[in-house]
Amino acid sequence: MNMENLEKICALCPGVSVQRHVGMDKYTTLRVGGPADAMAEPENEADLCALLSAAEETGTPVLLMGNGSNLLVRDGGIRGLVIRLGKNFSAIEDRPDGLYAQAGALLSALSRAALDRSLTGLEFAQGIPGTVGGGVYMNAGAYGGELGRLIVSARVWDCAAIREIPGEDMAFAYRSSLAMEKGWTVLGARFRLEKGDPAAISALMRELAARRKDKQPLEYPSAGSFFKRPTGHFAGALIEQAGLKGLTSGGAQVSEKHAGFLINVGGATAGDFLTLMAQVQSAVWEKFGVNLEPEVRIVGEDA
């Protein structure tokens, strides 16, 4: 990244602290990734929009991220500015027309906030490790639920202004949305939830947590389901039927517990995951003629 541009961004956004040469392995759930040129963590919408405008003005590439739970950063790292929305951008508020959450709020925290208010609908989200922003951007889901079905409106930055987009206009589909299509930044979202029995809500959350613990390799760093669900199939089942459970490349492994998860069993690099991904894709294509597309976002440069 051009240091002159970085200095200009800092001058245009004096209220935002910017770190330089930040190792991305500390900020992704896969625990891999080379250094980013710079990282900023804005605390409010004004600072976030100022950063985005300053980056555009200086021609600086931007990667927006939340919890890093669906992100594979290559070993050479990221040229440009990483904007991370985390605990400083994670307010959850009651609104007359629904529960509002900022983009940096964890989905688990949002699910818990709904329980605290005896609101049902978000039980499925309690075990998703991502944030509201990423969840809205990719229409995250699990156990038959999807965020897009619950959204009254999404608050976005469209590269020029802040807009409120009605949920029905967000073009939510499997792991996609209008925000993804347009490259918009999700600032937050309002959720339409129904009143429910807190005991029943809590029981369902415990049941789903137990199912996750039983079936998913939660003890290892991962990005969750590594591949999208191909039409008419389940990625994990295809990988298992191809005999790939336990397949290893360096420190990356196809989980023996759930073949849809690629896990870091220790000391993995992004290169290990990319090699393993390619091996899995090749084997599944050769055996079943099905192309597995990664669900995880792959960003950055090779070492």
pLDDT per position as a tens digit, 94-103: 988 889 999 9
CA distance 283 to 286: 5
At 2 the pLDDT is: 78
Between the CA of residue 202 and those of 99, 107, 209, what are the distances in Å? 18, 16, 11
Residue 107: closest CA among 136, 91, 83, 128: 128
Angle (nearest 5°) at CA 23 between 20 and 25: 155
Bridge partners, residue 93, by sequence: 100
CA distance 14 to 164: 27
Domain at 3-84, CATH class: alpha beta
Angle (nearest 5°) at CA 76 between 2 and 157: 60
At 112 the pLDDT is: 97
What phi-psi label fits residue 171: left (phi over 0), alpha (psi between -120 and 50 degrees) or beta? Answer: left
At 86 the pLDDT is: 85
What is the location of CATH 3.90.78.10 in the chain? 217-293
Catalytic residues: 175, 225, 295
The CATH number, out of the four listed (3.40.640.10, 3.50.50.60, 1.20.58.2050, 3.30.465.10), of the domain defined by the range 89-199: 3.30.465.10
pLDDT averages per 10-residue partition of the chain, 303 residues: 87 91 96 97 93 93 93 97 92 91 96 97 94 95 93 93 96 95 96 96 96 94 95 96 97 97 97 98 98 96 92
Q: In one letter, which amino acid is 210? A: A
CA distance 72 to 272: 11
CA distance 265 to 253: 7
> Is the Cβ–Cβ distance between 35 and 79 less than 8 Å?
no
What is the location of CATH 3.30.465.10 in the chain? 89-199
What is the location of CATH 3.30.43.10 in the chain? 3-84
Q: Which fold has domain 217-293?
A: 3.90.78
CA distance 127 to 65: 19
Angle (nearest 5°) at CA 106 between 42 and 205: 170
